[in-house]
A = this chain, B = another copy of it.
Amino acid sequence: MPERERRWSGWGFEGERFPVPEAARSFLTERLGAGDPLPAVPEGEVKLPPSRPLPPLPLPAATDDGSRLRSACGSSLPDLVALRTGTVAAYPDAVCAPDTPDQVVELLRAAAAGGVTVVPRGGGTSVVGGVTVRPGGAPTVVLSLERLRGVISVDAASHLARVRAGTFGPELEAALAPHGLRLGHEPQSFEFSSVGGWVATRSAGQRSTGVGKIDDLVAGLEVATEAGLWRLAAQPASAAGPELRRLLIGSEGRFGVITEATLRLRPLPEREDGLAVLLPGWAAGVEVCRALLQSGVPVETMRLADPEETRFGMTLAALSPLAARAGRVLFGLRRYRNGCLLLLGWAGDTQGMTLTEQIAARLWRAAGGFALGRAGWRRWRADRFRHPYLRDELLAAGWGVDTLETAAPWSGLEAVYVRVREALARAAAALGMRVVVGCHLSHAYRDGASLYFTFFWPLARGREIAQWGALKSAATEALLGAGGTLSHHHGVGTIHAPYLEREVGRTGVAALAALARELDPHGVLNPGVLLSRTPDPGPRTPGGREG
């Protein structure tokens, strides 16, 4: 398919936008006050330092400003601020795009021999600094997977496909559909993120409640390391030692470069549909979600917005005047004053879907839910990949926005919910500003669920990163303190790396570092990502109990 041009300083395609609706602008102005707009400098004004000399590389290396600028950053809030203000801290010295997995190995060997750092890059949509070039290190080459694209083969009997790592979501599904199959992995970045990136970061998609995280969808892998191509053939299950595929899933480019994945597919459903339901409050909504999951009902998409996110979401929805009036009436009722929007989606055959809908309806009706119909669900489905465009527009309008996500057992969700919101409010107050925090529950499991927070604040010119850092670190401390995981599907990158030990313990970090030393003995790959520093090898002092 023809490639559309990507925006260099923000999300998505050039020309696509999600302008801030007037209702949303009023909502934020009322709640936060006006902030300092952060316009994007024109690309021509960004001045790049010259490329540093590189040793001989086995394949062509682009060193033009455009390639280097477009490969310097991911999509984190600090990345966006740096791009918009023309203050990117470091650029790659070159960009290489291998045509084959063997060329990836050759590049890694040349980098090891020549003291070069390699940053693997798929779609570049990391929001945690996973593909951001770091200043002060060795000469750096971005290894772009953009030419390792496409479906290699489909095993229709086994519902498996071998897919090159650089393949993006839409081209993957387009190649599978003629076989009557789909992967069904649809992160918000679906259009711009790659199979290899999904695997490297333990991605989740909007259907993951039904189809599972990418962790569950990988049957086989091929990974390029300095030692050669490492192939783990597709297996439905095994007991041949620890699951090494799981060691590579989430390795964020530290252990090797994922060049191919064999993915588990599903038949294209006969039909799919969904429903929007208004529940009288957050606790009631969470209970409906828990009951749905624990009853084993095959819901594919589940998304429960808290009262704040429900209200802000309505300002974005471009409702008809009639629907807007109905909404005001509904939220005016005492019962739905703290109304929470629940979106449920399912796919399959008519018989199974009818049963699913019946069971779901029993549960949400018992919790006092009010059916808003299928239109709300379809609207969300239609818009869901457009929401990230809004972030750039909000920055331009003077409001910062970032998201963070965690997961916890059902019994621990309320503590995470309360403490993250409190921490963000406290951190904002300490900065003399206000914050709006929305949250939704999604990606639910029998034993727990993910909470996804979105927070908005009024920007102060020149202090955007400091504001963000204070909010982000307060929220991260809070969620870890409440027993949530550091990340449910964004990954670790450089931004979460300093916190990783809090979750996996000193022994866990040491185990990961030992693997990095073994698989990337010259420390070529993605330094600073996942592990803040690679501890030196050598005997460790037996420590005390760790938490």
Contacts and interface: CB of A to CB of B under 8 A. Distances in A.
Interface of A: 102, 105, 109, 112, 155, 157-160, 201-204, 213, 215, 219, 225-244, 246-252, 255, 264, 266-267, 290, 294, 296, 298, 348, 351-352, 355, 407-412, 443-450, 483, 485-492, 496, 500, 503-508, 510-512, 514-515, 517-519, 521, 530, 537, 539-540, 542-547
Contact of A235 (B228, B448, B537): B448
B228 A543 contact: yes
Given A102-B545, A547-B231, A238 B202 contact: yes
Given A351-B355, A542-B228, A242 B235 contact: no
Closest 8 CB pairs of A and B: A236-B448, A514-B518, A202-B239, A158-B409, A246-B246, A236-B445, A238-B485, A240-B486
B492 A236 contact: no
Contacts of A408: 235-236
Which residue of A105, A246, A444, A447 has the most chain B CB atoms within 10 A of its CB atom? A447
Contacts of A232: 504-505, 508
Given A228-B542, A244-B511, A351-B355, A491 B159 contact: no
Given A102-B545, A230-B507, A511-B519, 12 more contacts: A157-B410, A158-B411, A159-B294, A219-B409, A227-B510, A227-B543, A237-B443, A239-B488, A240-B496, A242-B250, A242-B512, A247-B247
Contacts of A510: 227, 518-519
A146 to B, nearest CB: 23
15 contacts: A202-B238, A204-B239, A225-B507, A227-B507, A227-B546, A231-B505, A237-B407, A237-B448, A239-B250, A240-B250, A242-B249, A244-B504, A264-B447, A510-B519, A514-B514
Which residue of A109, A489, A545 has the most chain B CB atoms within 10 A of its CB atom? A545
Nearest to A220: B409
Contacts of A250: 239-243
Contacts of A351: 355
A525 to B, nearest CB: 14
Contacts of A485: 235, 237-240
A267 to B, nearest CB: 7
Contacts of A483: 233
A273 to B, nearest CB: 17
A6 to B, nearest CB: 24
A227 B535 CA distance: 16
